[in-house]
Structure 1
Amino acid sequence: MKKTVLFFLILSVLLVTSGCLDETNGQKITVQKITVQKRTSEENIFEDFREVTENKQVEKAINIIKNAKWENKKVEMVRYADYQFQFPSKNSNGKEDKIASYLLWISPNGQNLEIITESDEFVKLTTQDSAELYGILTGEELIK
């Protein structure tokens, strides 16, 4: 009898604590991902390439993009983008928030990434940020 009571007591504690695992400091954890498409030909046609779902990588990529020194100017590139990627995120209600979409070019020197947003913002990332972001988005090293 005592073993049965002890078993149900332990089971109850486990159920209560596991039910709280999806919350951090009273806030629901938002599930985020990065969807990456790669240009596969000389045309402006992209195909699904990779989906990044590891939270640490997604957060690092978001921080790189957020902390970049963006310029408000319309830029004309000489070729189509090498990649495009999006940050769709889910809010605490489980519904998707606005999707941020970016076009990405590898600079001619192969060491920097240049990114344009839909709202005509432009940034040329530092060599270090370029290497980190490229690794996250493609799973490969940026060619130097």
Structure 2
Amino acid sequence: MCHFKKILPLVLVLFIATGCAGMERQKIEVGKRSDMGIFEDFKEITKLKKVSAVKDILHNAEWEKIKVDMAREADYQFIFQFVNPDTQAKAIPYSVWIGPDKDTIEIIEGGYQYVHLNKEDSSMLFEAITETKLVNREI
């Protein structure tokens, strides 16, 4: 029984350490279209709560598998990146357009997935990736 008491803390530490190592942390890199029409680095979102919120909204959205030809260039673009540079995964770009009433956003994922988010999801996602309110954006 004495050996068990000595080994149990070591086993717990190893279990926790290997469990945490298996979770890959991600960040979101956001680009904003400049007046010159190119995307410039805008924000890097690293807070787990914000990254998770964006992933949840995108996961629960009702995506359409269509190729969309928008009337203008996207206002923002973002990609998910792994924090660990050794992790290799294909980064899928998300292009974001702000609607004319500035209360919803439309997103194209990788060129062939499209969604027009409702006002609530638009507001939450936009605030997570830009750290500003959707209605405060100047055109």
TM-score tier by shorter-chain length is: 0.7 to 0.9
* Whole-angstrom CA distance in 2 between matches of 1:136 and 1:22: 30
Paired residue for 1:33? 27
* Whole-angstrom CA distance in 2 between matches of 1:29 and 1:121: 27
Paired residue for 1:116? 108
2:99 is aligned with 1:104:
no
* Ranges in structure 1 where 5+ consecutive residues have no aligned partner: 1-8
* Whole-angstrom CA distance in 1 between matches of 2:28 and 2:18: 22
Bigger proportion of residues as helix: 2
Deviation at 1:51, TM superposition (A): 0.3
Stretch moving more, 116-125 or 32-41: 116-125
Render the CA deviation track for 1:33-52: whole Å, top value 9, x for unaligned. Answer: 000000111x4301000000
Deviation at 1:21, TM superposition (A): 5.3
* Whole-angstrom CA distance in 2 between matches of 1:22 and 1:128: 38
Deviation at 1:72, TM superposition (A): 1.2
* Whole-angstrom CA distance in 1 between matches of 2:15 and 2:29: 29
- Residue pairs, 1:71-110, within 5 angstroms: 71-89=64-82, 94-110=86-102
Q: Please identify the structure whose Cα radius of gyration is greater.
A: 1
Q: Helix, strand or coil: the match of 2:135?
A: coil
For the 8 Å contact 2:27–2:83, the answer to whether it is kept is: no
Percent identity, please.
37
Stretch moving more, 104-113 or 67-76: 67-76
- Residue pairs, 1:1-144, within 5 angstroms: 17=13, 22-24=17-19, 28-41=22-35, 43-89=36-82, 94-143=86-135
* Whole-angstrom CA distance in 2 between matches of 1:94 and 1:55: 19
* Whole-angstrom CA distance in 1 between matches of 2:122 and 2:38: 23
User: Alignment RMSD, CA only?
Assistant: 2.6
TM-score, normalised to structure 1, is 0.77
TM-score, normalised to structure 2, is 0.80
Deviation at 1:77, TM superposition (A): 1.2
Aligned length: 128
Equivalent residue letter for 2:23: I
For the 8 Å contact 1:83–1:104, the answer to whether it is kept is: yes
* Whole-angstrom CA distance in 1 between matches of 2:83 and 2:89: 6
* Ranges in structure 2 where 5+ consecutive residues have no aligned partner: 1-5
